[in-house]
Structure 1
């Protein structure tokens, strides 16, 4: 009866067929946050770091992609997933077992004479073949799950690529920006030192008070105090860069250490829209492929409700010196049917588990979509705010520079006190430092935009 049912339903795959989840139409529209220097008509290229047109950065990114330890881990995970997929595909083919043996001794069971059996050589061999008839699609669903798992692991590998490239670029940009800030700090120290030297000479000449000298000394000390934190921040960025590239802190790339000007991007940032984002983000592909795998596992669980039919065949050979005819053969062939019916409680419980896992994966996918949109909007908004702040600080720096020049001229003309010069000089030094810090925030925010947009790795599915 079971065989008849199996034959009638042959070729059927148990469980639901996978259908990719739909995303909200609003998620595929334009971004809410669109800073002035962004281009929504152009999508982010895969090698977005080349938009900086910096050969040193290109080399650093390539080395990080080849030597980063996290990428080595995910690549090993991908190799493992592919091996599991290959193992699952083995279920489509018959399983075989070959045995052979030889021995020397007495075998009283085959001795037909009188007395004790003589010593002799005996030889044996056997071949067992079995093949599961995938009548209810259990093997096919298992292969589907393994294939989708492999796709998910490949997407996870791409997601780590996005992080590694983004953080390598960020570390390099930070190192360059802090190097530039250190240069600004040195120029501020030199400016404060010249002012102190000038007012000291004027004190000796009787045209300035000792109070003016102390005020100039305070400005110089504050300018010097701003330098060590910047050096520490640059070192931290360099050490981060070395780790991302699989190097020790003593192997910091010289190109990054020597960089004193942050790379910029000519033209607008290509950001595309929500449709391109959902297609590009590896974490979304990972969540979607995991959902597909868990859907296939429902079919694997459902198949356990039905009988499992295996065709088996075996042949054995035995030979020794005294066995009649010098050899014996034996063989067998037939089906093996295993079925948990009527107690299907275990199978139905596994179906419930698989469905619950599928529901969780669907919720994870929906959450990943929302998170991708959130991160993109947050990064674009932060980038736009950082750009506006830098523009305002640049204007403040330019005005502070003009104010210092005017104060210096009027002081030498005798129309103002040196206190006014100190105030103008302090304002200039502060605004220069603020512009340098704003440059770092803009550079980091720009990288965050690229990271949130997904980096451009689009992975083909496993065949």
Structure 2
């Protein structure tokens, strides 16, 4: 009767200590609501359509060299390889944590040879003896209050976090490769503009010197022509340095030693053409595929698991242990019936006199969960902001590019007329130099705008999460095997 009363008191104490403290649901959703009309303003422009987003967005540029670079990145990029290995590690951790639902069984065996001191052993007995032991030991925690299940949920969230991080690396590396490639082609174009203008200005300078020698020009015109010539020449060296830096960057992205990039990239080619339209898809699908949003959600779920585990510490922990085996002092008798041993060790532990610390741990994890929830909602807002900004940047840059194209054409025409009028003696030399300088500035501004438009489009594809799900389970297995083979061959 006393035992029953004691158990009742313990049960009542457990109920009272846990009163008002409940576990959290893992199906929390962001408080940010997004209307289906989120892209409505953008869709009013002809460059955006509502069809499904393209995963392999780099193919929209119709550039075989860019496609080749992306394929090399998929195979050899070291950041991608690292992310895949980390994801595989998280999956192994999840599988190991799932096994906590079952007993942990270990096989133990040991041999001990002991000699007792002369003041210990019984006279006439052998003070030296052997001890042979072999057993199967088992340990199991009963998931009575959700500790085990929440550990598994936390491990699953950790695996989802690693998956989101891996997909984020894919998206970022694809975007960086394409951006560097576009900048490389654009910088090569700017170099050709500078070299072409340098050649024309060299001819102008040579002509001015001849006119000075003939007495039909002056030293001021010669000095002005030389100044413009050297200014243009000075722009060439930074462009060459930038081209070399971009090539080296692309080398690293495709997993090669800088300086060993394919010669096809050395040859100047025009910037790839931009697609006529960009598919935006559905905004809610966008949020579901954005790795940063999914990473924030996984972080929140990991924190919820920690909170729930701390709530479970209010209750007793029920564990079972046991062992079966053989123990003998003579190895010939080791497996005999008389040597058989077993033990059962059930246990209940409870922080009955430490509940104040347990509750403070719950309060800490509760606050951290609220922080993770707010961070999740902020990530959703930042994702929407990044997308909207990228769309606006691209649309406005296309308009700017058209204005600069018209300016460049007008400047080229003005420079031609100014040259003709100067050679005919109708205008002075400074008017001719000014027209040529304006043409050079306009051409550079147009080239810069073309690079910027391409990079803004890449930013859109990145913001939309393009390329996040192109790797399959078979691809992951293949990459892991290749990494293992690479490790083996390096030993």
TM-score by length of 2: 0.83
Deviations 1:298-335 (A, max 9, x none): 22111111112223332242234598989333323353
Aligned counterpart, 2:248:
239
| 1:73 to 1:438, Cα distance in 2 relative to 1, 3 A | same
In the alignment, is the contact (CA less than 8 A) between 2:327 and 2:340 conserved in 1? Answer: yes
In the alignment, is the contact (CA less than 8 A) between 1:39 and 1:272 conserved in 2? Answer: no
Larger mean Cα displacement after TM superposition, 382-391 or 353-362: 382-391
Where do residues 437-456 of structure 1 align in structure 2 (5 Å cutoff)?
Answer: 437-456=448-467
In the alignment, is the contact (CA less than 8 A) between 1:122 and 1:318 conserved in 2? Answer: yes
Where do residues 294-309 of structure 1 align in structure 2 (5 Å cutoff)?
Answer: 294-309=303-318
Please, which of 98, 110, 116 is the counterpart of residue 101 of structure 1? 110
Aligned counterpart, 2:28:
20
Where do residues 22-421 of structure 1 align in structure 2 (5 Å cutoff)?
Answer: 22-26=30-34, 28-31=36-39, 36=45, 38-103=47-112, 115-117=124-126, 122-321=131-330, 327-333=338-344, 335-421=346-432
Q: How many matched pairs?
A: 454
3-state SS, counterpart of residue 327 of structure 1: helix
Deviations 1:147-187 (A, max 9, x none): 01110111011112111111111111111110111011111
Deviations 1:41-93 (A, max 9, x none): 12332211111121211221222233333333333332332232122112111
Larger mean Cα displacement after TM superposition, 193-202 or 175-184: 193-202
In 2, Cα distance between the equivalents of 1:27 and 1:284?
Answer: 17
Gaps spanning 5+ residues in structure 2: where? Answer: 1-6, 16-21, 474-491
| 1:124 to 1:429, Cα distance in 2 relative to 1, 3 A | closer
In 1, Cα distance between the equivalents of 2:60 and 2:295?
Answer: 27
In the alignment, is the contact (CA less than 8 A) between 1:37 and 1:269 conserved in 2? Answer: no
| 1:4 to 1:95, Cα distance in 2 relative to 1, 3 A | farther
Gaps spanning 5+ residues in structure 1: where? Answer: none
Give the Å deviation of 1:189: 0.8
| 1:49 to 1:2, Cα distance in 2 relative to 1, 3 A | farther
Give the Å deviation of 1:215: 2.8
